[in-house]
Amino acid sequence: MTLYRIHMNAARSEEFPDGSNKHGYDFVAPLDHDKHLDPADWKAHKKDCWVRRFWGDAPDERGALRHIGKGWIIDYDPSTTDDNEPFFKLDKHLINVGEYLSVREPDGEMRTFHIVAMQPYLKS
């Protein structure tokens, strides 16, 4: 198991016709040798699995990557579920540069993001 830091930008859409490198997410997640999320390793390293949402000029939002059932969410406040942002079928997706992931964002919209960089994550 290796923890990876994954960087993804907003993909091309009506809202972002050329995509956007000013809107997206960074997150740390455990990936198996096939580059799929590993729930067992997440359980062992969940305190290291963080998420940062960057959205234009808005302040960054920080949360945790959580595994719930077969799903994965971004949890900004553990005391409530109102702010959770679910990934779309993240348990089935290949996590690699060039791939796309979708997140249901705070406004209720499902947005697609393009993985543009990833590297092994070394805790500081």
CA dist., res. 58 & res. 73, Å (int)? 21
Q: Is 31 exposed, middle or buried (0-12, 13-18, 19+ CB in 10 A)?
A: buried
User: What are the residues whose beta carbons fall under 8 Å from the beta carbon of 123, sequence distance 6 or more?
Assistant: 3, 48
Average pLDDT, the chain: 91
pLDDT in tens, 82-112: 778 888 888 888 999 999 999 998 788 899 9
The whole-number pLDDT of residue 124 equals 60
Please, are residues 114 and 96 in contact by the beta-carbon 8 Å criterion?
no
According to DSSP, residue 66 is labeled E
pLDDT along the chain (124 residues), means of 10: 92 95 96 91 93 96 91 87 82 92 89 96 76
pTM of the model: 0.91
**Spans of all domains in the chain:** 2-120
